[in-house]
């Protein structure tokens, strides 16, 4: 996700741009400014977060997989972890201890290959179904 933050420090105001695979830029910006203020060196002024603006929510190309289960699932002699993309919300499974991730059947269409196209498709689908304006 591409976003920018507006920061103020000793009567100076500026924008900083970021492109990070996160779901909540407001929370991230607050934490990073708080961390900076907590680790000030002599001569540095504390910063204040003024605004956060999302520039391009669909800039995320790669899925950001997050494990959904506390314990590995064992079913039919197979072991797997249930995963969900923290950006677009599609689900998948990771079998064994390898890095190979198998996207769930309902998300195997090419449009779900990366987050930006998946988000655009899902948004359009919700609008057509009347779930979103």
SS3 per-residue string spanning 50-113: EEEEEEEHHHCCCCCEEECCCCCEEECCEEEEEEEECCCCCEEEEECCCCCEEECHHHCCHHHC
Q: What does the alpha-carbon distance between residue 21 and residue 62 come to, in Å, rounded to a whole number?
A: 8
Q: What does the alpha-carbon distance between residue 53 and residue 17 come to, in Å, rounded to a whole number?
A: 9
34-52 per-position pLDDT tens digit:
999 999 999 889 999 999 9
Domain ranges (residues) in the chain: 2-59, 65-128
19-30 per-position pLDDT tens digit:
887 778 899 999
pTM listed for this prediction: 0.51
Q: What does the alpha-carbon distance between residue 3 and residue 29 come to, in Å, rounded to a whole number?
A: 10
């Amino acid at each position: 996700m591409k976003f920018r933050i507006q920061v103020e420090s000793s009567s100076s105001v500026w924008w900083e741009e970021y492109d990070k695979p996160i779901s909540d830029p407001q929370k991230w910006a607050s934490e990073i400014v708080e961390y900076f203020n907590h680790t000030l060196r002599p001569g540095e002024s504390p910063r204040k977060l003024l605004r956060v603006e999302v520039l391009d929510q669909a800039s995320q190309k790669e899925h950001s997989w997050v494990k959904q289960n506390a314990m590995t699932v064992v079913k039919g002699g197979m072991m797997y972890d249930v995963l969900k993309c923290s950006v677009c919300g599609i689900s998948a499974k990771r079998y064994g201890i390898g890095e190979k991730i198998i996207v769930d059947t309902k998300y195997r269409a090419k449009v779900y290959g990366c987050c930006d196209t998946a988000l655009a498709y899902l948004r359009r689908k919700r609008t057509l179904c009347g779930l979103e304006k």
